Structure 1
Amino acid sequence: MAVCSHTESPFDHDRNFTFTVNDETYNGSIHFFTHYNEKPDFIEVLRNTFFQDETYGDARAKWHRNTTSFYAWVKAHMLRLAWDCRERLLHRFLHSFPNICRDFGFSVAHNRDTSGAPSQSRLWEMWNKEFTDVQREFVRTATEEALAFAREQGIPAPDPVFRPEERDISSKRSEQRLVAEKTKEVWQQAKPFVTDTFYLKRADNSVIHENAFWEQHAYMGMRENMYAQSGQHSFFIDSQRDHTPSASNHRYQIGKLTVEETRSMLHETTRMLIARARHNSELVGKLWAAIDITKGNPWTGEIERDEDDNITEDWILGYKDGEVYYQWATIQIVGYDIPLVLDAIPVKRGMKRADIVDSLLENALDLVDDIELVMMDREFDNDGVKDACDKHGVYYLNGARKRQSERATCTRLRRAGKTVHIEEETVPDGPTRKRMFLPSSTDDPDAEDMEESSEPVKGSSDVREEMREDLAELGIDLNDDDDRRGFGPVIDDLREQEANEPTVGSDEDAQTYALFETNHPSVTLNDDDSEIERIHMVERMVRRYRHRWGIENGYKQIKTFRVRTTSKRHTYRFFNFVFACVLYNVWRLVDLLVKLATEGENTTYAPRVDANQFLTVAKKYYGLDPPD
C-alpha cells in the first residue's frame, strides 16, 4: 500500500458526519488523502480513506479482529454500495485484484496472493449477520461522504444509489424514454454547429441548398457501410427536400475542398463545441491530450509503383500488417474531461512525425491553450517530436524504444536488483528530459501471446473477462487496476509494440524493463530520494499514460460515423474522416448535456447516450426544419 505524509497530499480532507439509528444519533469521521498528482478513480479514494478508531460496537471475537480489521470490511462494502452491485461481483473483483484487497486491509501477502481475498459468502455474512444496524448505517453514510468527496475533487465516481427521493423515473423503460427525448432535443440544438461552419465552393446560383450536402453526408455516415452511390437515393426518399445532390456531384463538390479548408471547418466547429462544454464546467483547468495515427479501410484498388515495386502514391501508405491504407493523425482530449478531437491531418508519404506533432499542437493550442500533457506511443519517439513539444510549451509522456545502450542499461539494472531508474538530459531551450526505466514483470501470463490490437492488452483469465462485462455496465474499466504496482496496462502496450521490432542484445534483459520518456517537472532525479519514493514518483507519472487509450477508443467510434468510399481522391477521404470526427464530437457533447439534464451536477464519466443510441436519434432528426 502506498504510504505518504499528509503534507504531500493535494486532497487532504476531513469529513465529520452524523447518522441516526433507532432515534439514537452517532458521530462518524473519515479522512482522505492521496499521494497521486493525477485524479484518481473511486477505488483510489477508498484506498486512501482512513477512519477514526471508533468501531461502533465491533463484537466479533478477537481472533477475527486480529486477522481482518473492521475497516477492511467497511471499505469492501462501501465499494459494493457505490457500485450498487451484489456480493458476487464484489468477490470476483477483489479476488482478481489482490493488491486492492491488501490496500483495503485484508490479509494479502503479495500481488499474486488470493488466499486473503474475502469469499462471496463471507461478504454476505458480514453485512447481513455480523454488522449491526449502527455499523450498516455507518457504512452507508460513509459511502455517501466518500462519493461527495470524490466529486468535489473532480474524481470519477459512481452515481449514488441513496437518493430515491430524487428519482422520478418509475421504470427502466421510462428512463430510456427520457434519455431518448433529451438526446433528440440536444441533437437538434447541436446540428447548427455543423451547418453554420461548413461550406462549399460553389456558384451563388446553385439550385441545391448547401445544407443538403451536410445532411446527406451525415445521413450516410450514420448508416453502416453506406457509400455516396447508394446513399443518394435513400436520402432523397427520406428527406423533405425537393433537390438533393447526386452521388457524383456530392463527391465532386466536397472533394474540391483543400486539406486546410477542411481542417479550418473542423477547428471552428470544435471551437463552438468547446465553448458549450465549458459553459457546463468541462474542459477547464490543465488538460491532457493524446496524439496518434489511425487508418481507414484497406485500399484494394490499383496502386502506382516504380520499377523496384515501391509504392509511389503519396497518400497510400503501407502498414505492418502488409495492407495499405489512407492514414490520418489526430490530437484528442483524454483523461477525465469530455473527449473531443481538436485537430486532424492526413499523413503523407515522407511526412516527419515531428512535423505532424508541430502542426497538431499549433492548432489545438489555439482552441484550448491549457494543454499540460500530451501522450504519444513509441512511434513518436524521436528528438524532433520532443523539440516540437518544447516549442509549444507542453509536457510530453511517450513510450520509448530500447536501443543497444538502453538494453545495456536494462542488464545493469537487473544485475543490481533495481526496480526503477531515472536518467536526465538537459536541453538548451526547454525543461529537463527524463528517461524512466520501470519493471516489466515478464512472468505475467497476461502479457504472453499478445497480438496486434486496437484496444489495451487484456488478461486471459476467464474470471477477469466475465468481470469486465459486469463492470462495463457500471462504467468501470477493469484495466484501471492491475497487480503490478499500477504499471501493468501501459507496460503491456509497450511490450506489444516491441514484439514487432527487431531485437538487439539480450531479449531477457530488455523484457525486464519498460522505458518511458517525459519532460514533466514532477519527475526529478534526487540522490536523497529512497527507492520507494522513486518508485512512487515514477508510478504517479506513468499511470497517466493509461489514458492515452482514450484516443484508440475514440477511433473505434469515429469509424462508425465515417462514410465509406472507393474514391482515390485524398481530399474527399480526408473530409469523410473529419466529418466523422465532428459527428463524434457532437455525440460527446450530446451525451454530456443529456447527463446534465437527467442527472444534474453529479454526472458519471461513462457515456449515458451510447453511440448507437445517438445514431438512432440523429438518423431520425438529421434534417433541418423543412427546406431552407
Structure 2
Amino acid sequence: MEQSDAPAVVDALGEQAEDLAHIHDHITRVIANLDIPDDAFSGYDEPNRADYELEPVVLAFLYKEARDLNSENELARRLNSAAYIYVRFGLENPLIQATINRNWRKRFSHSERNTIKKAGSRIREICQEHGLVSEDEPALDPSDIRANDNIEEEQIMDAVKRATELGFQNFSADRASNAKYALEAYFERQGYLNMSNAATTTPRRRFARLSGRDEVPHGSSHNRTMKKVADPETQTELGDFQGGKTPEWRRIRDTVLPAFHQGVEQQLDEIAGRDRQGIRQPVKAAIDITTFNFWPSPTKDEEDVGEGELPVNNGKGPFYPKEDFPETVSGFKDQKKKETERGYKFATITIVAEDTPIILGIEPVRDYSWWERKKKEDVVTTSRAGIVKRLLEQAEQHVEIHKLFCDREFDIHEIRDIADRKQIQYVIGKRSQSNEDFRNIEEIKESLVYDTRIEHAWVHCDGRRHKVSIIYVPGGEYSQFTVNGWVEPGRAEVLIDQYRHRWQIENQYKSIKEHFLPKTSTKDYRVRFLYFVVGVVMHNVWRLTNFILRDEVEGDLGENPPLPGGEIVELVGFCLFDPGG
C-alpha cells in the first residue's frame, strides 16, 4: 500500500467508527465491528505463511492504539483478560507478546503501521466524544461469539432440553382434564415466542415445523392458557385485573413466583452437580429495575373527549385521562433517547461478578404517574425499600448474599437499614442532594493533592443508627457512593472497583429484551408479568445452557456464554419439552 493511500484509510475507518458509535455502547464493540477495507493493508509479501487472518490482527492493533495501551505486553494481557476481547476480534486464541511483536514488525510496512496508529487515535477521539470510553471492558454479549464447530448439535439440544426442564416443569394452570394440549405444549410455544421476539398471534406454520408435535396450540387458546397460569383465582374475571389494583397484582406475583423459584433452585442444583463448588457463596448481587414498554398514550385525543367531561390538572396542565389505561404502567426516562416513555416496571436481583449470572428474584414495581386521576398520596405504590426487602428475601431462599450493589435510585436510608440488619455489605450510588455534597466536590476539584474524598456519617432509621461512609470519586463529574461502616481509602477503592460488577445487570436486561421477551400489546397485567417471568426463566436457561456447554468449547471462556441467545431459537421446538406429551 502506498503512503498516499493512508489518509483515505484513516478517513474510511473514522467514518465507520462515527456510525458505529451511535449503535454500540463501548469503544471495544465499535472496534470489533469495523470492516477493514480489503486493500488497506497489503504490505505483507507472504500472506500464506501467516498464522492469523489479517482482519483480526488489524483490529487487535487498532484496539491497542485506540485504548492507548503502552506496550505489546499490555495488549497481550488485555486480549487474554476476563472480557475475552480476542473472541470479539475473531481471533482463535489470544496472541502472546512474541506473536504480537512479530506481526507488527513483519506483517505491516512502516506506512501501514503509521496508518494504524492514526486510525486508532481517530477512533479514540470519536468514542470519547460519544462517551464510549471507560476503564473496563464490557462483558460478552450474545452477539459476540458463535458456538464452535466442535459442539455437536446433539450436545446443544441435550443441554437446552435439560436446562429448560429445570426452568419450566413446576408451572401449572387450572385446566380441564380433557384439555386438547398438554401445558408443556403452551410453554414450548411461549418459549419460542419469547426467544424469537414474536407476537402470540404469529402464524403457526414455522413454529409447527420446529415443534415436531402433530398439532400446536392456536394463538387465542395460548393467550387464555397463559392467563390461567398467572391467575390467583379460577373465578377471577379479566376485568378485575385490568386496572392493576394493588391486591390483584401482588396476588399475581404470589401465584407465579413459587414455580419460578422451584426452577431457580433446580438450576442451582444442576450447577452444583456439575461443579463441586457450585455457586460460590456468599455471593455478590445487584438489584435494578427494567421496563417492558407500553406504547399507547394515557390521555384521550380531542375527538374522544365526552361532552361535559371535566379535565384533570395535576401540575402538567389540563388533560383527559383514559378510563381504561392500566394503572400498573409507569412513566420513565429513556436515558439514551432523552425522552419520556411508558411501560411496566420490574425489579430483579441477580448474581454478578465471577459466578454464572442467574436471576434469583423478581418484583413488580408500581410507581405513581402524572396522568393518574388520583392524587399521589391516594395511590398505593411499591417503595424502593419494600422492593429491596422482598428481593433479598427471595434471593435468600437460594443463596447467602454477601455484597449488594444498587444505583442511586435506591439512595434511601431504609435500604441501608435493611442491609445492615442482614449484615450485608452494600455499595449504593448517591445523589448529589445537599450543599455539603456540592462543597465537598468543589474542594476535591480545587485540591492539588487528592481526587477522592471519604466522609464518615451516621444515618438514622426507625430509632436505629448506622455508620456510613460517603465516597466521592472522579468519573465525568464526580460520582458519589455510600457503603456501610466507616472505611479507609484502601477499602473504599476496592468496594468501588467491585461496584462495577453492577453493570452486568444492565447487559442482562438488554439480552432479555432483545432475545427473550415477546411482542405484545396486551394491557392484562397477568400476561405482562408472566411474559416477563418466562423471559427471565429463558435467560436463566440460556445461562445454564452455556454453563453446561462451557467444557465443550475450545479455549477457556469461563462463565461467559458460548451459545448466543438468538441461536437457541431454532432449538426451542425440538428441545423445550418432549414432543409426545
Q: TM-score range by the shorter chain?
A: 0.5 to 0.7
Per the alignment, residue 459 of structure 1 pairs with none
| 1:125-204 pair list within 5 angstroms | 175-176=148-149, 178-204=151-177
Contact in 1 for aligned 2:188/2:573 (Cα 8 Å): no
Contact in 1 for aligned 2:195/2:565 (Cα 8 Å): no
Q: Secondary structure at the match of 1:424?
A: strand
Q: Give the distance between the partners of 1:395 and 1:173, measured in 2 at CA.
A: 37
Per the alignment, residue 342 of structure 1 pairs with 360
Per the alignment, residue 425 of structure 1 pairs with 457
Alpha-carbon shift at residue 556 of structure 1 (Å): 1.4
Alpha-carbon shift at residue 406 of structure 1 (Å): 0.5
The letter for the 2-side match of 1:433 is V
Q: Give the distance between the partners of 2:574 and 2:213, measured in 1 at CA.
A: 15
TM-score (norm 2): 0.63
Aligned length: 410
The letter for the 2-side match of 1:545 is Y
Per the alignment, residue 220 of structure 2 pairs with 248
- 1:264 counterpart = 2:263: no
Q: 1:389 to 1:122 in 2, by over 3 A?
A: closer
- 1:386 counterpart = 2:416: yes
The letter for the 2-side match of 1:421 is R
Q: Secondary structure at the match of 2:396?
A: helix
Contact in 2 for aligned 1:183/1:591 (Cα 8 Å): no
Q: 1:549 aligns with which of 503, 520, 535?
A: 503
Contact in 2 for aligned 1:290/1:551 (Cα 8 Å): yes
Q: 1:87 to 1:183 in 2, by over 3 A?
A: closer
Alpha-carbon shift at residue 306 of structure 1 (Å): 7.0
Alpha-carbon shift at residue 427 of structure 1 (Å): 5.4
Q: 1:243 to 1:625 in 2, by over 3 A?
A: closer
Contact in 2 for aligned 1:87/1:120 (Cα 8 Å): no
Alpha-carbon shift at residue 293 of structure 1 (Å): 0.8
- 1:314 counterpart = 2:327: yes
Contact in 1 for aligned 2:146/2:563 (Cα 8 Å): no
- 1:297 counterpart = 2:252: no
Alpha-carbon shift at residue 198 of structure 1 (Å): 1.0
Per the alignment, residue 444 of structure 2 pairs with 413
Per the alignment, residue 571 of structure 2 pairs with 617
Q: 1:127 to 1:238 in 2, by over 3 A?
A: closer
Question: Identity, % of aligned pairs?
Answer: 24
Q: 1:179 to 1:410 in 2, by over 3 A?
A: farther
Output one character per residue of 1:289-346: Cα deviation in whole Å (capped at 9) or x when no partner: 1111111134226668972248674211011222211111111111111011111112
**Segment of structure 1 superposing worse, 358-367 or 386-395:** 386-395
Per the alignment, residue 584 of structure 1 pairs with 539
TM-score (norm 1): 0.58
Per the alignment, residue 364 of structure 1 pairs with 395
Q: Secondary structure at the match of 1:566?
A: coil
Q: 1:366 to 1:128 in 2, by over 3 A?
A: same
| 1:223-238 pair list within 5 angstroms | 223-224=196-197, 226-232=198-204, 234-236=206-208, 238=210
Q: Give the distance between the partners of 1:121 and 1:103, measured in 2 at CA.
A: 10
Q: Secondary structure at the match of 1:229?
A: coil
Alpha-carbon shift at residue 242 of structure 1 (Å): 5.2
Q: Give the distance between the partners of 1:86 and 1:236, measured in 2 at CA.
A: 40
Q: Give the distance between the partners of 2:431 and 2:190, measured in 1 at CA.
A: 41
Per the alignment, residue 141 of structure 1 pairs with none
Q: Give the distance between the partners of 1:430 and 1:414, measured in 2 at CA.
A: 31
Q: 1:180 to 1:200 in 2, by over 3 A?
A: same
Q: Which has the higher contact order (CA 8 A, sep 6+)?
A: 2
The letter for the 2-side match of 1:437 is Y
The letter for the 2-side match of 1:547 is H
Q: 1:200 to 1:427 in 2, by over 3 A?
A: same
Contact in 2 for aligned 1:291/1:374 (Cα 8 Å): yes
Output one character per residue of 1:568-603: Cα deviation in whole Å (capped at 9) or x when no partner: 011210100110110110111111111124459x54
Per the alignment, residue 524 of structure 1 pairs with 487
Q: Give the distance between the partners of 1:98 and 1:253, measured in 2 at CA.
A: 56
